[in-house]
Amino acid sequence: MLCKDFDIAEKMKKSRQATLQRTWEHPELTEMSERMHAQGIAPNLFLVGAQKCGTTTLASLIAKHSDVFFSRIKEPNFLSFDVRPAEFTGDFKKLHIEDENAALKRSCTEDVLYAYIENPAIYQALFEGSSQFSIRAEGSVTYLFSSEAPSAIATLFPSSKILVILRDPVKRAISNYRMQFQAGVETEPDVFKAIMNDHAKASYTWGTKHFYVESGRYADQLVSYFDLFPKSQIHIAFFEELFGKKDEVAIANLAAFLGLDEFKPEEDAQKNASLKPRNAVINKLLFKSGLKRQIQRYVPKSLKDFGKTLFYEEGSSRLDQGEMEQLQDLFQSDRDKLENLLGRPAPW
């Protein structure tokens, strides 16, 4: 797909200025939805899941199918209208925020994992050239956390399918910690302390804490989707079944839900897996100086992969039995609610 001149995005209230309310009820969003439907480029599959649940791996698998068009930015986060980049703390802004026009143009030449798109014209541009595909997808991790995303999707793209992937919440929390520690945003070297310290913070605003615990409490986050969409439009997949034991029934059920020819996960390694920095001090300096973000966004992939072998290594974030049991207790009530909601046991 060719890049176009996206000056129109600049003309249409760049970054959605104050006059554009962050609510799906705004006329400009309705007009965007109507244009996308009229052009046959409206997204009709939303991949939903918390960070480190395997959304990137699953998106990569789905995107390989010839009938699937995946958003040029895998996670545009556009419909999470209660996730406001302006409210992020300094460290989160430094790591995550990039001019949305720059992210869009960069997506013409490289894979862009995520951005916080606020301009309707840019969101529409992510799907240009997709009208011939039966599935047009995007997958933003904030869509599970957000209290507004389910309503926004149901209002603007009501016939869409909702594909949710979940993972053992304790393992998810540990993996999330490792990702943030690798990035340099998390500075506590003890994983249990880091998780409990973050959980103790009173804030519930995205971009102000890591939500190691809250993001893994799935049931309350899923209720809105079940309230707003027919069950036939929702499919719950589990990381352990798809990418752990590669359960053939689970894979076949996913293929049937998507309406695609049967496919099988071939990746042995999880996409977007976290590594342990060999030197935490140097890693923190790279982050604080802004060099890490520049390297991440502008250095060729081959050089980045080589750099990873020099500065990072495989690592484990171990908890003793007592710590593990404390974390499991934090999720027990939610697990019970999740199993009641789904009518089946969770595979962890």
- Any idea what the CATH number is for the domain that residue 246 is in? 3.40.50.300
Question: For the segment 104-127, what is each residue's pLDDT rounded down to a tens digit?
Answer: 998 988 888 899 999 999 999 999
For tokens 């893994």, the residue is 216
pLDDT for residue 309: 57
Q: Tell me what the mean pLDDT of segment 182-202 comes to.
A: 92
Residues of the chain with pLDDT > 70, as a percent, come to 78
In whole angstroms, what is the distance from residue 22 CA to residue 20 CA? 6
pTM of the model: 0.82
Q: Tell me what the mean pLDDT of segment 60-87 comes to.
A: 93
- Evaluate whether residue 326 is within a structural domain: no
pLDDT for residue 31: 95
- The count of other CB atoms within 10 Å of the CB of residue 251 is 18
pLDDT for residue 185: 87
In whole angstroms, what is the distance from residue 32 CA to residue 45 CA? 17
- Evaluate whether residue 104 is within a structural domain: yes
- Evaluate whether residue 160 is within a structural domain: yes
- Evaluate whether residue 11 is within a structural domain: yes
* Pair of tokens at residue 155: 């209002």
Q: Is the pLDDT of residue 7 over 80?
A: no
Question: For the segment 247-280, what is each residue's pLDDT rounded down to a tens digit?
Answer: 999 999 999 999 998 777 665 545 555 555 555 5
User: Structurally, how many domains does the chain consist of?
Assistant: 1
In terms of Cα–Cα distance, which of 262, 235, 250, 276 is closest to 49? 235
| Secondary element (H or E) of residue 166 | strand 161-166
**Domain span holding position 86:** 7-170+216-269
- Evaluate whether residue 139 is within a structural domain: yes
Question: Which range has the worst mean pLDDT, 25-39, 239-253, 297-311?
Answer: 297-311
- The count of other CB atoms within 10 Å of the CB of residue 171 is 16
Three-state DSSP class for residue 112 = strand
pLDDT for residue 19: 36
DSSP state of 110: S
Dihedral pair phi/psi, residue 45, rounded to 5°: -140, 125
Dihedral pair phi/psi, residue 196, rounded to 5°: -70, -35
pLDDT for residue 261: 86
Dihedral pair phi/psi, residue 165, rounded to 5°: -120, 130
- The count of other CB atoms within 10 Å of the CB of residue 299 is 13
- Evaluate whether residue 255 is within a structural domain: yes
In whole angstroms, what is the distance from residue 119 CA to residue 4 CA? 16
Q: Tell me what the mean pLDDT of segment 312-336 comes to.
A: 85
- Evaluate whether residue 58 is within a structural domain: yes
